[in-house]
Structures are given as C-alpha cells and as structure tokens.
Structure 1
Amino acid sequence: MSALHWLNTEAFTVLGQHILWSDMIGNTIGLIALALGWRRSVLTWPAQFLSGVILVGAYSSAHLSGGVGKQLLVIGIALWGWRAWTRGRQQAQDGSIAVRFAGWRERGLLLAGAVVGTVAVAGLFLAVPSLSWSPWADAYIFVGTLVAMVAQARGLVEFWFAWLLVDLVGVPLAFHSGLAFSGLVYVVYFALVLWGLRDWWLRSRTSVKPALEGAAA
C-alpha cells in the first residue's frame, strides 16, 4: 500500500462521520501552523506547506477540486511567506517578526482583491461544474485563504479577521462535504484566531507606542 493510498483510507468513524487519515493529519498540522503563526514563528510556513501537501489528498478523495486548488495555492504562498518572514527576522534588530495594522490603501486592495477574486473563481467553477459542487462557497474560501495568507506574510493584523470570515463558511461546508475532522478543526481554528487576533493587536499597539514617544522627543 502506497503512502498516498494509506492517507486516503479511513482512520475511524465518529457519529457516522468517516475520518480520513489525510484529513486528520493534514488539519492537525494546519492547526499547529496557526498556533505557530500566533507565536510569530517562521516555522508556521513549513508547517502550512506540509499541511497543504497532505490535504491535497484529502480533498481529492472527496472530489472537491476547489479544495485541491486552495491547497495548491497554500503550498505556493507558504513558500513565499517562509521567505518573507525569514528576511524580516534577519532585518529586525531583535530577530522577531513585526506586526501592524494595514493602512487604508492596503485594506482597500485586500478587500478589492477578495471581491474580484471570489467573483472570478466562482465564475470559473460555474462554467466548469466538475470543479466544484458549491461554486460560491468554494470560491469564497479559496480566495479568503489567499487573502489571509498574503496578509499574514506581510505581518498584518487583518490576517486574523480574514481567517474569521473564512471559518464562518468553512465549518459548515467541511461537515457537509463529509470532511468531519476538517469541520472540527475549523471550530478550534476559530478559538485560536480570536486569541491570535488579541495577541497581534496588543503587539501592534506596543510597537507603535515607542515610535510615537521617539517622535515626541
């Protein structure tokens, strides 16, 4: 039995929901990646990369082409984010990752990208029905994940807000698609996102305060 075949076999059943090894392992690593992101550890990116690789198999087995595409996107952005955070640590005096709120122009670009991207991807899914049985929800999660990871790579606090919005759709869609473990992990994601949002919010305020004090002096 190949590793790929084993990953897509059933691990166990809970309340009638069949849990795949790929779904369980991939999302557990994704959960660890989110916790590492909360701690501003560069290791969040290789963890996200590995999670994406494993979850490609899970979504393939569930015939969710949109999910596969999302995970391929996660893999690519994880490599970019890994490079960006590594360079950011090298440039920082204390070797840490600086976090901040986005400017209004950045927020506008992120919002516009999310709206245009969702419409474009949903249009593709509608034109090719075999890619997704839930075009708008898949497109929303697909583009929302992209926006969240781009914001995370740039150290923007808005990254957490983007994940909250993704979770609101991701939880019910995962359960409805038969990926019960993904749904459960999304619920845990929600709690971690709230804690991470608070931590990054406070850190962004402490980083601004010294700058203001220096300007006043």
Structure 2
Amino acid sequence: MKLTTEQIECINQTLVKKGVKFDDLKMEVLDHIASQIEYEMTATQKTFPEAYNQVFERWNAEFKPTRAFFSLNTYYPKLARSKFGNQIKLEIITAITIAAVLFFSFQLMSDSNAKLQFILWIKKLLLYTYIGTILSMLVFKFFNAKSKVSSTYKHSFDMRFSVIIIWLGFVFTDNIPHDTTNQNIFVPGMGCLFVYLLFNLYWGFKHYQFQKKISIQ
C-alpha cells in the first residue's frame, strides 16, 4: 500500500524532530521507514498510525543521541554517527593501503641516494596536491555555499576546510629526514597526508553531486 504525500511528510517531520538533520541521511532513512510502514499496512492490514508507531518503535535505538567523533559537546542520532564512522573507516583503509604501497616501494630502492630522490619526488607530488586541494576546496566551498542542502558529506568537508591550513608548514618545508628510521616513518606518513588531502576533495564533490541530485528531483 503506497503512502500518501501527507503521510510521507509526517515521517519526514518526525525524523527532523528526532535530530536527523542531514538531508542525505534523512532521505535514506525515510525511504527505509516508509517501505517498512507500507509493508506493515499491506501484510497486516494495520492503519497508518498503527504501522507508523510500530516501525518507529523498532528504530528508536538508532535515534538515540550519541556523542559526535572528536567532539565533547556535539551529539547526533546514533545512525548519523554510524554513517560518519563508515566514512572514517573508508578513509583509514585507503590511507593504510597507500601508506603500505609507498613504504614497500621505498624499501625496494637500491641505495640511500635513490631513497632520497624517492622522498623528494613524493614531497613534490604532495606540494602540488596540497595547492590543488586548497584551490579546489575553495571552488567547492563557493558552489556549496549557494545551496541550503545539508549532508553528511558537507559536514565532513566543512570540518576539514579550516583544519587543512595546519599542514601548510609541513608541506612547504624543505626539511626531510636523512636517517633510515625517520625516513621509514616519513614516507608512509606522507602517504596518509596525501589520502587526507584527496578525501577533502572527495567529500566536497560528493556533496556537490548530492545537491545536484536534489535539484533535479
């Protein structure tokens, strides 16, 4: 049994009251809850209020306020924290993979001079990536600011926008380690920073895609 526009809006307003403020997450959850309510109404002949109460009762644990990552006073519904957690896991897995590839590639260098050139090459690549990331983030910031659409991607992007400046000194410094131990730490560390920069762009682009999708609908 298909829900009416009014019934869907009722679900939407309930999600807002329960703190689901990110539009991408709200759309996902609304779709799941609406489908479950439709199923209950069709399979058990329940009325909308009965099915609505039953389904939301099942979801109550997901709406429980949970402290946000890296914050002492910001709380999200549990399902929002779960989505941010999945985003962080994706980034960590990617960072570990890239760091491992660079580390083992570094170990294959035949002598200290080759290893030094390898580090200098990575530093140059990181410098161009950093400059490109800042310029691209400014572009995304400009386009995203025009939209009132909220998303978990925009939240992640905005959180990083002000933090990226702290890497300025590291990227532009000419200092590099010359001893083996510090070089073995430095190389995978630069790989992690490279992934961090790329994910800044990734979240900005994901939000741009999402708001385009919303505008088409």
Bigger radius of gyration = 2
TM-score (norm 2): 0.29
Higher relative contact order (CA 8 A, sep 6+): 2
